[in-house]
Amino acid sequence: MREIQPTRSELLEVTRKIRLTQNGHKILKLKRDGLILEFFKILDQAKDLRLEIAKRFREASEKIAIASAVDGVIAVRSASYALTGHPEIQLRSRNLMGVVVPEIKSSKIVAPIYERGYGIIGTSPRIDEATDAFEKLVETVVKAAELETTMKKLLEEIERTKRRVNALEFRVLPDLEEIERFIRFRLEEMERDNIFRLKRIKGKMAKAAEA
């Protein structure tokens, strides 16, 4: 406060800043509300996806247990290592209300039976069913990864925006208003000083004229 120059130009500058801050505050509040709405929309999808993952995981676990029981552990382990190729994950980004969120696209998680790397004739359908179940599980996990990362990014942005809104509302704006008040008060006081000084000069000049 001590470094503030109580000048008219400073007052104009502070008033401009206050107006700008109020606008910014309003926009940030709108952004925060928008992000929260978007977050809740994605939250519902993420919840459904989580349930789907749990369901698919249960199914896949049961299928692999059945395959191990019917075909033996070595056959299952060997079939699981047979697929040498790995699914490619393409990571792109998109803009969601100013937040950069990932867009994950995976290529070829579900492979045709003849590309799985194990023999067709001697492998039981139980191993195929277990493979199917795990392929579907990985597909759901990739979808969930996109959604949950988006959710995490949105949460971070909501938190950041909330902090900015609060900082503007409870810190920046009150400070600027305080400065504005201080400058006005100082200017008014300087004005009063001036008037008083002028009156004194006028009085002195009148006395000198009379003498």
Partner 1 sequence: MWPFKGGGNFAYACTRVKAKKRFLLSRDTYSRMLVMDVHEIGRFLGETQYREEMTKYASRYSGANLVEVAITRNLARTYSDILSFTTGHLREMVGDYLKRWDTFNVKTVLRGKTTGVGEEDVMDTFVPAGSFSESYLRTLVQLGSIQELMDALSKEPSLGITPELVREVVDTGRLAQLEDHLDKSMYYDLLKIIEETNLPDQLLRQFVRREIDVTNLKVLLKLKAERIPEDKILKYLIPGGLEYGMDKLKALAQAEGLSAIMEELEKSSMYEVIKGAVEKFKADQKLSDITIAIDKALIGTSEKFAHFYPLSVLPIVNYMIRKKVEVDNIRIIARGKESALSNAVMEDLLVV
Q: Which residues bind partner 1 (CB under 8 A)?
A: 61-62, 65-66, 68-70, 72-75, 77-78, 81-82, 84, 112-114, 116-126, 128-129
Q: Which is nearer to partner 1, 57 or 182 (CB)?
A: 57
CB of 140 to partner 1, least distance (A): 20
CB of 67 to partner 1, least distance (A): 9
Q: Which is nearer to partner 1, 125 or 203 (CB)?
A: 125
How far is it, in rounded angstroms, from Cα 91 to Cα 72?
A: 38
Q: Which is nearer to partner 1, 120 or 208 (CB)?
A: 120
CB of 134 to partner 1, least distance (A): 15
CB of 106 to partner 1, least distance (A): 20
Q: Which is nearer to partner 1, 98 or 125 (CB)?
A: 125
Q: Which is nearer to partner 1, 64 or 101 (CB)?
A: 64
DSSP annotation string for the chain = -TT----HHHHHHHHHHHHHHHHHHHHHHHHHHHHHHHHHHHHHHHHHHHHHHHHHHHHHHHHHHHHHHHH-HHHHHHHHHH-----EEEEEEEEETTEEEEEEEEE--S--GGGSSS-SSSS-HHHHHHHHHHHHHHHHHHHHHHHHHHHHHHHHHHHHHHHHHHHIIIIIHHHHHHHHHHHHHHHHHHHHHHHHHHHHHHHHHHHHHH-
CB of 139 to partner 1, least distance (A): 16
